[in-house]
A and B are shown apart, each in its own frame.
Chain A
Amino acid sequence: MNSAPAVLAGSGLVKRFGTTTALAGVDFQVARAESVAIMGPSGSGKSTLLHCLAGILGPDEGRVTLDGKRIDDLGEAGRSVLRRTRFGFVFQFGQLLPELPSVENVALPLMLDGVPRRIAVTRAAEWFAPLGLGGLEQRRPGELSGGQAQRVAIARALISEPAVVFADEPTGSLDQTTGADTLRLLTESTRKQGACLVMVTHDPTVAAACDRVVEVRDGLIRGGASAAPPRSAPTARPAIAFSPGNVPTGPAPAAPGVRHDEHGARQW
């Protein structure tokens, strides 16, 4: 599994915050179309690892390469461009601009890169049906369920055709059923795009959806870099026929039920 050339690699990563060592010399690689879960208890350094790999934080020692080119020595502006064009991000919640309709939230990365608004919005709209969001293009984030909002976030992460998608507890604020659906969409659509997925989670069932799991403890990767569990059920199923432009039905039927559950869960 590690024989394929690494798209993103970190070697000897050290990061200290004051006297605390968050990362104590970590090696990490992820290959094309591969998904890797980074697990570990709170404070283990897993988020710091993700931030260093994604160019959000600069490591104190070690190097990070993307397609063989060093990226940790780029300036803030360079890393910002890199994050916008080569990486995609899915966070736990709160990443969508509340006043923008969903479709414009998805189109935003393209517009930031200079794509004309009309084209950006058209391309963004193509992502909605495959992700089970058909008809919700003009809804605003506040009018979406948690699961729907995360799918909009996934579309936004993928629209700029990134090399790597970083996900930080992407299902952390969702109930189990919605979480599983969202996770499946995330892993499958990322793979379809040919991007790799680096996901931070503390939930073993979530981690199991990835090709590979690494565990961070006390700033080091423990238990071997490829404690690969068997692929879990979602990826064993046929992948959804996913292709923007050629719009399949995909998992759309799940959406209304999910939304209903969410409201039910929240309204006590």
Chain B
Amino acid sequence: MVKSFAISLRLLRGAGRHGLLGTLLTVVAVAVSTMLLLAALAANGAFAARAERAAWQTPSPTSPESATAVQSTSVEYFQDKPVTVIRLAALDPAAPVPPGLPAFPKPGEFYASPDLTGLLASTPADQLADRFPARTGGLDRSVLAAPGQLVAVLGLEAADPFLTVPDGAPVDPGTVPTHIADFGGAPSLDTVIYDLLLKMATAMVVAPLLIFGAAAARLTVARRDTRLAALRLIGATPGQVVSMTVAEAVLTAVIGAVLGALVYLAGFAGLAQIPMQGQTWFTSDLWVGLPWLLAVLAAVPVLTGVSAAIGLRRVVVSPLGVAQRQTPPGLRAIRLVALAAALIAASFVTAGTGAMMVMIVLGAVFLAINLVGPWVVGIIGRISAAFARGPARLLAARRLVDDPRAAWRTVAGVALTGFVAGFVGLLSPATLETTDSDRTVLSLRAEDASAVDDVTAVLAAKGIDGGVEVAESGKDYAYIAVTVADDPATVDRAKAALTGVVPGQAPIADSDQAAEGRILLGDVQVGVRIVLIVSFLVAIASAGIASASSVLDRRRTYGLLRLAGTPLKVLNHARAIETRIPLLVMGGGAILVGIFCGVPFAAAGAFSPSGLITLATCVVLGFGGVVAASALSRPLLDSVTSSPTPSPD
């Protein structure tokens, strides 16, 4: 193996300018893959770290007998910012100290997170501070989900109405007073949703990434095909040929992986600035950790080597195989059956299907598109070859027929991204509903309608102009609706004034109820955008690489054709058609498949305007990007064909 490395290194160095360019492209491809892989890992780790740190904020229920304390966590809003309010009462002197606090808060104590402390100081007291007692102390940032999270920890008497544990098992420990034994915590509902969304996003980014990495590895092999077949012809053993190629691919990949890791190291602090759940990140959350970093640095070259070895199979099987450029066996229509099966499976998916099942079906459709792609490209090639009139169109069509896999590789990234875009195009939230009313309604749940008088009195005392009425009442409850002017200061003053007026109740504004959904949908939008941007970047880069490697592969033939007077324009036109035809057919097809799979998840079964905009942007940028990336290899074609004596290497 050491000898193989030595020979490969010499071959790499002696490869000349164009050979070096090919190596460079592979290095860049591997670097981008490594960087994105690390970023995806970092994102997964970051959500996990955030969830783990904030777990104590969500109580984990226990039986009343083993309880040491009662905890109630609710999210109340200041303007549109969520404030996590944690109310605690000890049932036992031995109750454990909550994370980040010096001691279990005594009744009347109030601890605030750093950003909440800042907000309290900079905001009129009647809008925020009046909701809480006087601040006792601070809460350490290390127990917050995010550095800017607003958290209030309040100590109460166990008998406080805010902490009255309802009979029966708590439906959602995130909102109802709960008996707890310790602060081990539980994953909040949010955490579960985000984990699922993140896994979907990761799958959507990593799948094209693998194709991209494989394309890069094949680029290495493609350039070496001829020479390795020659080596094989002069008697190198299959083992020697394989180890030499693998050595070269691994060597190239190591350089790329290190570069990618360096880019990640330089940039991961920037990732921390992308807000999720309304919060930016601790920089340390986005650090993957040394073991993962080393694992990726080791795995990427190994995977590249494996991909290179697979690509070489043909050469090793027969020394004449590549040297003679025989026609590869045709692709079979059985591939179509795979897509049909996947689509039938997808048609059973509804919004009610389990998340795991949805993932599996989506993955299967994804793979099926990838399987069916080359076959469809071959068919398109045959059809266009039969109808081609001009030389450029004929050249392009014949090339599609000859190597549909290569043509598919050029457009695979964008086509698969088209699938993602079609799918999430439907998922994207519609432009947020905004109430055009100039009034905000706050509601309070009271035991009976008599609370109306208390509420009216408090509002009058604080000088807040508002209408009070009973919105709905039953045997043992009454919802009191307070209508105030829809301006943030008035709403927050009313909230501060009304907190605790009805025992155990903080008022909830109608805008608050929408806020949580708004944040989640906003995050989905950010996530969708990141997934689309990343996968389009990967797709465009891989299209560029595929097109460059096709020029490098055929530089001798192109060069001789040009010498014989073939206008470069025709060659370039042929290459453009070669990309454009499969791009339109497969990209369009993949979008349709994506829409088909996305329909069960669409809110009203129709496109939302923002989803359509996202989709249209994808089509324009993605298709335009691929065409541009292919055009980028024009100067390369010019340069490899301008030499009067084109050399085989």
Contacts and interface: CB of A to CB of B under 8 A. Distances in A.
Same complex for A and B? Answer yes
Interface of A: 47, 51, 54, 56-57, 77, 80-85, 87-89, 91, 94-101, 104, 108-109, 111-112, 116-117, 140-143, 157, 266-267
A117 B557 contact: no
Interface in B323-342: 323-327
Given A57-B644, A111-B390, A99 B563 contact: no
Interface in B96-112: none
A151 B648 CA distance: 21
Contacts of B560: 89, 91, 94-95
A85 B566 CA distance: 10
Given A94-B648, A104-B398, A112 B557 contact: no
B565 A81 contact: yes
Nearest to A263: B320
B401 interface: yes
Contact of A89 (B398, B564, B645): B564
A112 B391 CA distance: 6
A100 B561 CA distance: 13
Contacts of A85: 565
A143 B389 contact: no
Contact of B563 (A83, A108, A116): A83
Given A104-B398, A111-B391, A142 B563 contact: no
B539 to A, nearest CB: 25
A87 B402 contact: no
Contacts of A104: 394, 398
B567 interface: yes
A111 B562 CA distance: 15
Interface in B541-578: 554, 556-557, 560-567, 570
Given A95-B557, A100-B395, A112-B566, 7 more contacts: A47-B645, A84-B567, A85-B565, A97-B395, A97-B398, A116-B389, A117-B390
Interface string B401-444: 11100000000000000000000000000000000000000000
A104 B398 CA distance: 10
Nearest to B318: A267
Contacts of A82: 565
Contacts of B75: none
A80 B565 contact: yes
Nearest to B553: A98
B557 A98 contact: yes
Given A94-B560, A104-B394, A117-B389, A83 B565 contact: yes
B331 to A, nearest CB: 15
Contact of A112 (B326, B402, B403, B567): B567
Contacts of B320: 266-267
28 contacts: A57-B644, A77-B567, A80-B565, A80-B566, A80-B567, A81-B565, A82-B565, A84-B564, A87-B564, A89-B560, A89-B563, A91-B560, A94-B557, A94-B560, A94-B646, A96-B557, A99-B398, A99-B399, A99-B401, A99-B403, A100-B398, A111-B390, A112-B566, A112-B570, A117-B389, A117-B394, A140-B327, A142-B325
A15 to B, nearest CB: 11
A111 B401 contact: no
Contacts of A97: 395, 398, 557, 561
B91 interface: no
A10 to B, nearest CB: 16
B255 interface: no
Contacts of A111: 390-391, 394
B388 interface: yes
Contacts of B570: 112
Nearest to B555: A94
Nearest to A97: B557
Contacts of A89: 560, 563-564
B325 A141 contact: yes
A181 B213 CA distance: 48
Interface string B299-327: 00000000000000000000010011111
Nearest to B323: A266
Interface string B625-649: 0000000000000000000111010
B147 to A, nearest CB: 58
Contacts of A96: 557
A141 B644 CA distance: 23
Interface string B590-605: 0000000000000000
B171 to A, nearest CB: 66
Contacts of A99: 398-399, 401-403
A98 B402 contact: yes
- Identify the interface centre among A54, A56, A82, A116: most chain B CB within 10 Å of its CB: A56
Contacts of A112: 391, 565-567, 570
- Identify the interface centre among B390, B395, B564: most chain A CB within 10 Å of its CB: B564
A267 B648 CA distance: 21
Contacts of B648: 94
Sort A-B residue pairs by CB-CB distance and give the 3 closest, nearest first: A84-B565, A83-B565, A99-B402
B645 to A, nearest CB: 7
Contact of A84 (B389, B566, B645): B566
Interface in B382-396: 388-391, 394-395
Nearest to A146: B324
Contacts of B395: 97, 100
Contact of B326 (A56, A100, A116, A142): A142
Contacts of B403: 99
A43 to B, nearest CB: 12
A83 B325 contact: no
Contacts of B564: 83-84, 87-89, 95, 109, 157
A143 B323 CA distance: 11
- Identify the interface centre among B326, B388, B402, B560: most chain A CB within 10 Å of its CB: B560
A56 B644 contact: yes
A142 B233 CA distance: 16
B227 to A, nearest CB: 14
A97 B550 CA distance: 13
A2 B480 CA distance: 116
Interface in B63-110: none
A108 B391 contact: yes
Nearest to B391: A111
Contacts of A83: 563-565
Nearest to B560: A95
B557 to A, nearest CB: 6
B394 to A, nearest CB: 7
A143 B561 CA distance: 20
Contact of A142 (B327, B399, B562, B646): B327
A48 to B, nearest CB: 8
B338 to A, nearest CB: 27
A78 B594 CA distance: 50
Nearest to B400: A99
A51 B559 CA distance: 14
Contacts of B399: 99
Interface in B21-66: none
A141 B401 CA distance: 15
Contacts of B233: 266
A85 to B, nearest CB: 7
Contacts of A142: 324-327
B255 to A, nearest CB: 31
Contacts of B567: 77, 80, 84, 112
A40 B233 CA distance: 30
Nearest to A77: B567
Nearest to B321: A142
Contacts of A88: 564
A83 B644 CA distance: 13
A122 B564 CA distance: 22
